[in-house]
């Protein structure tokens, strides 16, 4: 018996998920850690209730969190939160990896394991850089 998942109109849910991703990537609410959980939950909802690929959602979520963590222009505590949550979509990728040897997720795990956060650029450093131009 084949399981049929309900198909909702994908666009409004996808747009909401993307808006949440922009809020994370731009640190629009750096003092709201629940935003990351909300984004990951919306991604799970997309997979569950639309035709959006689970692999795409997990990979996009992982990249978003890791890229945000490495962005020195963002606040340090926000970057740390993103790095701390990046394992969640990575774990999902591992579960989904149906490749011949199940190793598509491993280079991503290596990226996460080797991620070293450099200090965020301070406002003073930013202003100094502008003055030097």
Q: How far apart are CA 102 and CA 119, in angstroms?
A: 35
Provide the residue range defining the domain that includes 31: 13-127
pLDDT of the residue at 121: 87
Structurally, the chain folds into a number of domains equal to 1
- Residues with Cβ within 8 Å of 69's Cβ and at least 6 positions away in sequence, in order, are 79, 80, 82, 83, 86, 115, 117
Residues in the chain predicted with pLDDT less than 50, given as ranges, are: 1-4, 7
DSSP category for residue 75? -
Q: Is residue 70 part of a domain?
A: yes
Q: Is residue 72 in a domain?
A: yes
132 within a domain of the structure (yes/no): no
Instruction: Determine whether 23 is exposed, middle or buried from the number of CB atoms within 10 Å of its CB (0-12, 13-18, 19+).
Output: middle
pLDDT at residue 83, as a whole number:
96
- Domain annotation covers residue 7: no
Name every residue whose Cβ is closer than 8 Å to that of residue 31 and which is 6 or more positions away in sequence. none
Of 14, 10, 35, 15, nearest to 25 (Cα)? 35
Look at residue 21 in the predicted model and tell me its pLDDT.
Answer: 97
CA distance 117 to 79: 8
| pLDDT of 2 | 45
Q: Is residue 2 part of a domain?
A: no
Examine residue 122 and state whether it is found in any structural domain, yes or no. yes
């Amino acid at each position: 018996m084949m399981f049929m998942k309900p198909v909702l109109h994908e666009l409004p849910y996808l747009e909401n998920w993307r808006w949440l991703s922009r809020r994370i990537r731009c640190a629009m609410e750096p003092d709201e850690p629940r935003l990351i959980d909300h984004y990951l939950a919306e991604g799970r909802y997309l997979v569950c209730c639309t035709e959006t690929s689970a692999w795409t959602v997990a990979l996009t979520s992982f990249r978003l969190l890791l890229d945000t963590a490495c962005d020195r222009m963002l606040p340090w505590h926000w970057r740390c939160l993103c790095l701390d949550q990046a394992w969640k979509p990575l774990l999902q990728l591992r579960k989904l990896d149906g490749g011949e040897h199940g190793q598509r997720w491993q280079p991503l795990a290596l990226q996460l394991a080797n991620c070293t956060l450099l200090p965020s650029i301070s406002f003073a450093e930013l202003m100094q850089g502008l003055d030097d131009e």
